[in-house]
Structure 1
Amino acid sequence: MFYDEELEESDHFYQSQPLILQFCYALYNMLVAHSEFVCYLVIIINHMVSASFVTLVLPITIFLWAMLSVPRPSKRYWMTAIIYTEVTIVIKYFFQFGFFPFNQNKLDRNKPYHPPNIIGVEKKDGYVHYDLVQLLALFFHRSILKCHGLWDEDQVHQKTRKQMIMEKLREQLFKAKAFIIKRFLEIYLPIKQFFYNLIHPEYSAVTDVYVLMFLADTVDFIIIVFGFWAFGKHSSADITSSLSEDQVPGPFLVMVLIQFGTMVVDRALYLRKTVMGKVIFQVILVFGIHFWMFFILPGVTERFSENTVAQMWYFVKCIYFGLSAYQIRCGYPTRVLGNFLTKSYNYVNLFLFQFRLVPFLTELRAVMDWVWTDTSLSLSSWICVEDIYAHIFILKCWRESEKLQRYPQPRGQKKKKVVKYGMGGMIVVLLICIVWFPLLFMSLVKSVAGVVNTPLDVSVKITLAGFQPIFTMSAQQQQMALEWLETYIKDDLVIAQLKGSSNSLWTISPPSRQNLIDMLGANDKAFQITVAWSVQNLSLGAKAETASGKNVLTLGNDTRHELITLLNGTEGNLKQEWWIVDELKPGPIMIEGEKQEAGLHIYVFSDQVSPPSLGFLAGYIMGLYASVVLVIGKFVREFFSGISHTIMFEELPNVDRILKLCTDIFLVRETGELDLEEDMYAKLIFLYRSPETMIKWTREKTQ
């Protein structure tokens, strides 16, 4: 056994240190081990903050050069990055002087297409901070490579290949004798050799990071759905508000379709295991997304450095680019069928496997796998195998969990109360919640998450019988609040102050005036006055924007005689006339300041409404009740009433042999043994058609 006293003393000294110091040592060692990714992260963050052309070059080289190099980025790349960063710092420093006219106007600094902003040489404070951090990270990685002897590369194989290329180059030079051809070949041949080695590697460390790439695309998809306003012009509402108004924004639809299309293409390349197609797709995405994010999107919205949602989307996309480059560099695995969740059997995998409940996701995945996979099975047979495999996997998870719970229990022993009241009680509570959830949801939304719906406008109109209205007035938002009723809060009460003078002239013709006087004088007939009011609210929830009503009163004889006297007294006046209305006494709530002129005070109690984000749900209680209670109730009823029809395929003690048969079908399909695939599929179908054979195959293993 190897023993070194100095190493033993070093380990003892390390273990004797405090835990916080050991943690710092571990962080430093992790930083040293992944210094390459630290450089990538700093370069990407620098570009996200600067969002200029000079910082765009290095992120593109990361995804199309550094992360595609086997086994690691060469010394040439790191020297290129260091020199480029140093030149960038010098150029930015040079343009900070005040004698450049295009950097004098401060108003142009926020323009996305201002040339200094696009290039990255605008005059600003802290112009070089991130570049210095980037240069520091690059020098740190350079020192790590030198410490491990990886900076100066072994040139044995490269020299041989280089000599062959130079010999061919000399032959071409002697034949063509053209300097242009020489320069072209010096650039073209290394690039061609780089991509040739990438697509046709001598050795390949096969890996599979498709799940992580799909997860990154899913996060980007969610960012687009809930933050699409950051990618469109004059878009400030969220997606729930737009959908509640039966509108689908055009930019949102285009972005969602493009994002979904890239996910489909990525799945197709993964199933076909074509590295060349993946390289082409990577190049198109890298250039296309960077051009769109930093040259087109700023003109539509604002500068990229001021768009937080776009920065989040770009950062997640950079993670996808890194994973994609890693997949290209290592190559696709031989077997890509199946599911990563089916590698182990436990409650976590069983829970995550319920992604199959997402509408059309399982169907779309099965059809795409059948289209882009070489197989001899028809589409229906393919779906049959996938369904059997999924069902057997679920049974396998349950059987493994039963082993951990020492199941089954001894014969003749009653169930424990913990199990009955625990599991049974949870099911009872769950069923009750499902039944009463919509009503509870409506109540809680308004009482807990409700928002105040303050009136925007209050209008009053007074009409004598069927004649021209004598008084119209409206009041805009001016609220005075007080706690009034238990179901309201102080912000729900609004006092609308209406001025006494009508805002419209009383334009009545002389014959109509005389007719009105005659009707007022007829004491044997009732004379009615109508007071109509309307309140306009903000459209926050599902309620109508305008609430209105009216009150009809019958005038007494004294009031009728006073009106006749008033009308007769102004009959000969040819000037314009209007009515003035005043209240007899003030309301119960005192208004600050004394009353100076005639007017009305109207007390408005506004019910709280659902927030805009939940208004499209809370506004349709019957639809919500039908979708939740009836649909979920249908699935629950099938679970309780359809058990007898599935006993043969659910109560399988041991599913290992069936599971192995399914995996064997996947294996022979990947190896191209399509005849054997058909034979195994026929065996699987016969197994499900024969109850006796199924019983033999699923018996518990005996010693």
Structure 2
Amino acid sequence: MKPYKPPKFNRDAIRSGDYYMFEELEDEVCDLEEKEEDESGDENDPLYPSGKRKMSMSQFLTSALKTDLKKATDLALAGQSPQASDGSTGLGPLPESVCSPQERAAFFHARSEPCDAPLSHSSTSTRSERHPVYGVGDPLSGQGPEKRPDEGEGPSDQKSLGPEEEDEKSPNIWHKIVTFLKFAWAFVESAMVSMTIYLNRFSRDYRYVRKVLTVEKKMLKEKPGFGLGIRSGSGMIWEPPPGATASPSHLPSVDEIDQRDFMKQSDTPAFIYLVQAMWFAFIAHTDSVCYFMVFLHQVSEPTILSLPLPLMVFLWGTLSVPRPTKTFWVTMIAYTEVIVVIKCMFQFELLPWHEESLSEKSPFFPPRILGIERDPHYAVYDLVLLLIIFLHRFMLKSMGLWKSTNEDEIQLEEGEHYFMMEEGLESNTLPSAHTENMDTTEEGNNLRHRFGSQRSRIATRAGRQLLMVEQPAEEGDEQSPPAEVSESGGQLVVVKAQAQSLCQHFPKAFSMMTSKYGESVKIFFKDLLSPSKKVKADVYAYMFMCDFFNFLVIIFGFAAFGPQREDDGGVLSYLEENKVPIPFLIMLILQFALIVIDRALFLRKYILGKLVFQFCLVVGVHIWLFFVLPGVTERSFREALTPQMWYMVKCFYLLLSAYQIRSGYPTRILGNFVCKRYNIINMVLFKGFMFVPFLFELRALMDWVWTDTSMTLWDWLKMEDIFAHIFGLKCERRMEQEYPQPRGQKKAALVKYIMGGSFLFLIIGIIWFPLVIFALGNTVGMPNLPRDMSMTLSISSYPPLYSVSVQSPSITKFSEAEWNQLTTTYKSNRGAQTFFSNYDYEDVAVAKFSHNASNIWTISPPDRLRLIDEIQSNKEIIFQLSWNLVRKSASKSSTGKASDSSKWIMDKTHETERKEFIKIIKMDANATNITIGHLFPKFLKFTNRDTVHPVPQLMKGDTEEEKSLRKLTLRLYRGSFLDTGITEEWWGISELCGGENFDILKHLPQYSCDHLVMYVFNDKAFPETLSIISGGGIIACYIGIVYVASRVLRSIISGSTYRIMFTEVPCVDHILQLCLDIYLVRESGELALEEDLFAKLIFLYRSPETMIKWTRPRADDEADVEEESVAHPAPQQ
């Protein structure tokens, strides 16, 4: 055998996977289920003791899905939790034998009682943890269940009931109504329980400390001699005796305290618990309430005077470790009071700017931007903020957190002062008090006063604890020590104070002052950046949600961030015009850049960079929102809701960011935040995450760039794709275990109709959608009548004879009565009735053209002579009537304009018409008019495809022209106007009132021989959302929707054979654990081990045999071994 040679390069290591990596399969430990149960075990803490808590919403809905509504409702209303007996965190899967609803209910009733059969537990098997082991009474064993004396009749005995009893057992409508009402109340109660559990998670620490303090106070008061103490010192301050304040040796745990509370309040309704949980959540986080009130105060009054409040919150309070100091809250209280006083001073009417402020609308009006503008409610938010801060101050005092541990230098009067070493403190440097030799120190103030003590305690810079004693009674008795020191025999420290001029020691005094006030700042940043004082936390997911929400706010509310425009319809109006405003683009890019920078800092765990980013962001946001934005939009910040929403969400982001800085980044970043559990909610959230375009790719690329790894980019993407696939399979297998289908049982009709019926209707809808959308166009569309119509009659290449254009009110809409008159006129014409069925009365427009042309016939004498010669020479004279219609555009691809024309040729067969036409042109006094052929369209159809053509169904005739067009009469008019002496010529045309169709047309609404009356039938305009689909017509709609959808569906179904190897995996726990191990060793810096584990994962996908072996359920392996051992017993020797 060749010796093993470790790979030298990355690619060799990645491809070095082999079978030896999987030889120790039995030693592999997979604790995914244990981790999941530990995470879900939080529900056991907050409210109800174990075994007594009512159902939460998830437990109630799971119970309802696994049994039926009635049984689940009975369990919930009885106050029994499905996990009360077995200690599990949720309802496990049903045994395969439990099929009928009666058996399911009996199974759950059995699970609520102690189980005599032992349960098998295995850390490497998920099925053994989920399924109980049944004994002789197991339905799978073929033997009937052993009855107990106290048990009733089983389900099999119910079959012997008589018909009358069966009728009584069968539910009627009233029982169903009662069951539904009970279910509704149980659902509401479970929702309250879930809300209570959720709220109590936020107040657990506070409730525990509060209860322990209550117990300690009670035990202290029960001690004999409570209230005894001594008074000592110059101020005679009372102190308890030594040892009285020591903590007791044994205190009850929080579980014992909860048990006592439950025994007292076991029958308390869930609503009371919910109110109690809301109250505790409020008082446990009064600091967050104070912060929220500061943000609300700034949103309501965005002034320079109130701006320091949020800046102090973001740059001081929220960054203090471990909590905001007493100095911070005192500063907040003092500054808020100063704001109230300043506002009150400027509320008098005699100030000159109050009259101007009524008409001044500028956001930078000085009294308004400063915050001193007169307002009857000027101090409402300030007083509410003070009230909340004082409430928080009271809560801190009740918890003993208001006392400051800071040390302040003391100022001693000139002379000698005596201090005694505290008892129990050894000192080898100080002599006895009776000796004359004194230990001296350097000049300067080296003594500091400790706050929070009953007596005047002093601490030196060296750390020695001193206790101030009374001064001697007489000035001459300086060398005799105080009586208190003499009696106790303690050590004495004498401090001699001398007054000196500050100017003599100015450099040193300035240095001491700088160090005094700069030390606190130094300690502030040192505690903030020190990793030793932090409890790691991960709130990046919530920060990303805030940023993503603000991203959407900018997209849909950009109009509030830009300059005011009267016709501004927001971003959609810009997109409709295919324009992108530069400010909109800059804001989106900046918001996106902030998300990327935050992600980079999170991956690098760079606390200092995050702190700098936090400071820049706080200052930049407040400058932009309260100074730049009002100048750009020319309106105050509080006049638009969108910037206020953006600011409030950004404040929540900054709070989370400050908490992240204060707590520190997590040591290990393992996978996606939605992949922590394997239930249906996480699966749906992860599918949504994968559905967002480029989100998965962006996250993977950023993680690879800012994470220390030995993988190449393509290996990283391969690893992320494997994890995403395995996580989805894990969630599916979890759902299969939670809701198993019994073997050999047909699918329920309800499931088949819901799932199969939904897909069936979806496919049928896709097939018939184009036809339905065009057939129902008149139902979903809107009337779209022409707003401009014109008609022109021309002859060959000569100037037009007649030209008229009409608009409203010459274009009118049909009324319902006129529509009924029209349909009644054609009631015997089936073709007309079919045509009318596609329209409503709102779709018909009536246009009345004038008899006289609106243009002067400006033909020159030579052209007149040439026209006469052409008519006399029997050449073809072409008469052309064209019409143009304009209406509102229904879609981007439509112009809303349509035109068409008709022609009539005067050939040599029309001898009579030629003679009359020559007479008219030659100005013969006997000439009257001339009748020309079918040119005028009485009925037009205006389609959505921007086409207009005559309607042939409403008139009779032998040819298409006779069915669609009407004859016209022409007449040339001459005259002069306004005494100009200039003779003008113009043509007049009219419809020939006679003929075969005149008997029908004369009964039409608004018909008149004095005008050219035209009826236009208009197709309805599709809504803008449907215009995109229907704009290309039926064929394009079929190709774009039906064909593409069929190809996508076919690719999903037909390609399943190639994915069976990787999708139908029985157990993915080992593969998922291997992926998590790769994440773990990567975060630990073991890059060589990362390569080995990734090589193992790659080889697993290369070897189908190993994949089958590694994904086989462990319970099945153990069962096979047991069966083989039973079938083939070992031979006896």
Which residue is equivalent to 1:39? 290
After TM superposition, the structure 1 = structure 2 runs for residues 597-608 of structure 1, keeping only pairs within 5 Å, are: 606-608=1018-1020
Which residue is equivalent to 1:315? 648
Comparing 423-432 with 626-635, greater Cα deviation is found at 626-635
1:226 CA displacement: 2.1
Which residue is equivalent to 2:393? 142
1:82 and 1:438 map into 2 onto residues whose CA distance is 68
Find the residue that maps to 1:530 and give its secondary structure.
strand
Cα pair 1:52 1:118 within 8 Å, conserved: yes
1:672 CA displacement: 1.0
After TM superposition, the structure 1 = structure 2 runs for residues 379-418 of structure 1, keeping only pairs within 5 Å, are: 379-407=713-741, 409-410=743-744, 415-418=747-750
1:520 CA displacement: 8.1
2:1021 and 2:503 map into 1 onto residues whose CA distance is 81
Cα pair 2:778 2:839 within 8 Å, conserved: no
Comparing 198-207 with 320-329, greater Cα deviation is found at 198-207
1:472 CA displacement: 3.5
2:527 and 2:1088 map into 1 onto residues whose CA distance is 35
1:695 CA displacement: 2.1
Q: Against the structure 1 CA distance between its residues 426 and 515, is the aligned structure 2 distance closer, same or farther, given a 3 Å change threshold?
A: same
Q: Against the structure 1 CA distance between its residues 465 and 7, is the aligned structure 2 distance closer, same or farther, given a 3 Å change threshold?
A: closer
Q: Against the structure 1 CA distance between its residues 307 and 7, is the aligned structure 2 distance closer, same or farther, given a 3 Å change threshold?
A: closer
Q: 2:380 aligns with which of 129, 143, 149?
A: 129
Q: Against the structure 1 CA distance between its residues 175 and 635, is the aligned structure 2 distance closer, same or farther, given a 3 Å change threshold?
A: farther
Q: Against the structure 1 CA distance between its residues 462 and 645, is the aligned structure 2 distance closer, same or farther, given a 3 Å change threshold?
A: same
Q: Is 1:85 aligned with 2:328?
A: no
Q: With structure 2 as the length reference, what TM-score do the two structures score?
A: 0.54
Deviations 1:373-428 (A, max 9, x none): 11112222222222222222122112111112324724xx6555455444333332
1:358 and 1:430 map into 2 onto residues whose CA distance is 23
Q: Is 1:216 aligned with 2:546?
A: yes
Q: Is 1:658 aligned with 2:1071?
A: yes
Which residue is equivalent to 2:885? 534
1:496 and 1:106 map into 2 onto residues whose CA distance is 57
Find the residue that maps to 1:112 and give its secondary structure.
coil
Comparing 207-216 with 155-164, greater Cα deviation is found at 155-164
After TM superposition, the structure 1 = structure 2 runs for residues 69-84 of structure 1, keeping only pairs within 5 Å, are: 69-84=320-335
Q: Against the structure 1 CA distance between its residues 481 and 351, is the aligned structure 2 distance closer, same or farther, given a 3 Å change threshold?
A: same
2:739 and 2:309 map into 1 onto residues whose CA distance is 55
Give the letter aligned to residue 643 of structure 1: S
2:722 and 2:322 map into 1 onto residues whose CA distance is 41
Which residue is equivalent to 2:1090? 677
Give the letter aligned to residue 150 of structure 1: L
Find the residue that maps to 1:397 and give its secondary structure.
helix
1:251 and 1:442 map into 2 onto residues whose CA distance is 41
Give the letter aligned to residue 120 of structure 1: G
2:1088 and 2:380 map into 1 onto residues whose CA distance is 64
1:13 CA displacement: 9.1
1:599 and 1:425 map into 2 onto residues whose CA distance is 59
Comparing 174-183 with 608-617, greater Cα deviation is found at 174-183
Q: Against the structure 1 CA distance between its residues 452 and 187, is the aligned structure 2 distance closer, same or farther, given a 3 Å change threshold?
A: farther
Give the letter aligned to residue 283 of structure 1: F
Q: Which has the larger radius of gyration?
A: 2
Deviations 1:54-105 (A, max 9, x none): 2322223222222222232222222222222232233334334444444433
Q: Against the structure 1 CA distance between its residues 547 and 689, is the aligned structure 2 distance closer, same or farther, given a 3 Å change threshold?
A: same
1:530 and 1:284 map into 2 onto residues whose CA distance is 73
Which residue is equivalent to 1:304? 637
Give the letter aligned to residue 325 of structure 1: A
1:491 and 1:639 map into 2 onto residues whose CA distance is 46
Q: Is 1:259 aligned with 2:596?
A: no
Find the residue that maps to 2:702 and give its secondary structure.
helix
Which residue is equivalent to 2:679? 346
Q: 1:59 aligns with which of 292, 307, 310?
A: 310
1:580 and 1:165 map into 2 onto residues whose CA distance is 115
1:8 CA displacement: 11
2:850 and 2:461 map into 1 onto residues whose CA distance is 94
Q: Against the structure 1 CA distance between its residues 27 and 691, is the aligned structure 2 distance closer, same or farther, given a 3 Å change threshold?
A: closer
1:533 and 1:669 map into 2 onto residues whose CA distance is 73
Q: Against the structure 1 CA distance between its residues 333 and 185, is the aligned structure 2 distance closer, same or farther, given a 3 Å change threshold?
A: same
Cα pair 2:333 2:386 within 8 Å, conserved: yes
1:242 CA displacement: 3.6
Find the residue that maps to 1:548 and give its secondary structure.
strand
Give the letter aligned to residue 618 of structure 2: V
1:270 and 1:417 map into 2 onto residues whose CA distance is 51
Cα pair 1:506 1:578 within 8 Å, conserved: yes
Which residue is equivalent to 1:153? 404
% identical equivalent positions:
41
Find the residue that maps to 1:177 and give its secondary structure.
helix
1:498 and 1:179 map into 2 onto residues whose CA distance is 102
Cα pair 1:540 1:615 within 8 Å, conserved: yes
1:152 CA displacement: 2.9
Q: Is 1:203 aligned with 2:533?
A: yes
Deviations 1:419-475 (A, max 9, x none): 54443333322333344456656777x566645546554444454554434444342
Aligned residues: 691
Give the letter aligned to residue 431 of structure 1: I
1:349 CA displacement: 1.7
1:151 and 1:438 map into 2 onto residues whose CA distance is 72
Cα pair 1:506 1:579 within 8 Å, conserved: yes
Give the letter aligned to residue 639 of structure 1: I
1:8 and 1:238 map into 2 onto residues whose CA distance is 58
Cα pair 1:471 1:580 within 8 Å, conserved: no
1:577 and 1:52 map into 2 onto residues whose CA distance is 76
1:272 CA displacement: 0.9
Q: Is 1:177 aligned with 2:428?
A: no
Deviations 1:337-395 (A, max 9, x none): 31122222122222222122333222221121111111112222222222222222122
After TM superposition, the structure 1 = structure 2 runs for residues 381-530 of structure 1, keeping only pairs within 5 Å, are: 381-407=715-741, 409-410=743-744, 415-437=747-769, 450-453=781-784, 455-463=786-794, 466-469=797-800, 470-476=802-808, 482-483=815-816, 484=819, 492=843, 507-512=858-863, 528=879, 530=881
1:26 and 1:120 map into 2 onto residues whose CA distance is 39
Q: 1:609 aligns with which of 1007, 1021, 1027?
A: 1021
Cα pair 2:972 2:986 within 8 Å, conserved: no
Q: Against the structure 1 CA distance between its residues 506 and 304, is the aligned structure 2 distance closer, same or farther, given a 3 Å change threshold?
A: farther
Q: Is 1:562 aligned with 2:920?
A: no
1:268 CA displacement: 0.9
1:116 CA displacement: 3.0
Q: With structure 1 as the length reference, what TM-score do the two structures score?
A: 0.83
Give the letter aligned to residue 737 of structure 2: K
1:662 CA displacement: 1.3
Higher relative contact order (CA 8 A, sep 6+): 1
Cα pair 2:600 2:702 within 8 Å, conserved: yes
Find the residue that maps to 1:533 and give its secondary structure.
strand
Cα pair 1:449 1:610 within 8 Å, conserved: yes
2:774 and 2:307 map into 1 onto residues whose CA distance is 50
Comparing 465-474 with 488-497, greater Cα deviation is found at 488-497
Comparing 27-36 with 172-181, greater Cα deviation is found at 172-181
Q: Against the structure 1 CA distance between its residues 570 and 381, is the aligned structure 2 distance closer, same or farther, given a 3 Å change threshold?
A: same
Q: Against the structure 1 CA distance between its residues 525 and 338, is the aligned structure 2 distance closer, same or farther, given a 3 Å change threshold?
A: closer
Cα pair 2:670 2:1076 within 8 Å, conserved: no
Cα pair 1:479 1:495 within 8 Å, conserved: yes
Cα pair 1:208 1:332 within 8 Å, conserved: yes
Q: Against the structure 1 CA distance between its residues 215 and 481, is the aligned structure 2 distance closer, same or farther, given a 3 Å change threshold?
A: farther
1:663 CA displacement: 0.9
Cα pair 1:389 1:659 within 8 Å, conserved: yes
Structure 1 unmatched runs, 5+: none
After TM superposition, the structure 1 = structure 2 runs for residues 579-658 of structure 1, keeping only pairs within 5 Å, are: 606-612=1018-1024, 615-616=1027-1028, 619=1031, 628-658=1041-1071
Q: Against the structure 1 CA distance between its residues 459 and 528, is the aligned structure 2 distance closer, same or farther, given a 3 Å change threshold?
A: closer
